[in-house]
């Protein structure tokens, strides 16, 4: 499955044609997320000819890129006046992501 910036926006529940969405920035997050997944699985889960990830690997890439896109400065909390929010951060893989990645990870011998 080819992973596109529109996939990240859809995952976030954002209308892809909406204003203020920097597709180049999302693409940069996708490139980073893909590189991290490839490193973790040692290229497992990617088509050897096209380089496209398997669908479940693509889902991990999308969720990782979405977290880093929504909070690129990795803020733990954001406060404006009396309002406070705790945005998602990428501090490592989530347990569901690890379950997928471990299916493809090649362990060192």
Q: Where are the domains of the chain?
A: 5-74+85-104
pTM above threshold 0.75: yes
User: Of 16, 68, 76, 73, whose CA–CA distance to 37 is shortest?
Assistant: 68
In tens digits, what is the pLDDT along the chain, a chain of 109 residues?
A: 899 999 999 999 987 767 778 889 999 999 999 999 999 999 999 999 999 999 999 999 999 999 888 866 565 666 778 887 765 666 789 999 999 999 999 777 6
The first and second tokens of residue 19, run together, are 């204003």
């Amino acid at each position: 499955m080819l992973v596109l910036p529109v996939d990240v926006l859809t995952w976030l529940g954002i209308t892809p044609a909406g204003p203020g969405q920097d597709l180049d920035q999302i693409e940069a997050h996708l490139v980073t997320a893909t590189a991290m997944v490839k490193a973790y699985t040692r290229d497992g889960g990617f088509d050897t000819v096209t380089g496209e990830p398997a669908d479940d690997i693509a889902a991990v890439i999308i969720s990782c890129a979405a977290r880093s896109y929504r909070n690129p400065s990795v803020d733990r909390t954001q406060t404006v006046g009396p309002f406070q929010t705790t945005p998602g951060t990428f501090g490592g893989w989530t347990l569901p992501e690890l379950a997928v990645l471990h299916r493809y990870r090649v362990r060192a011998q």
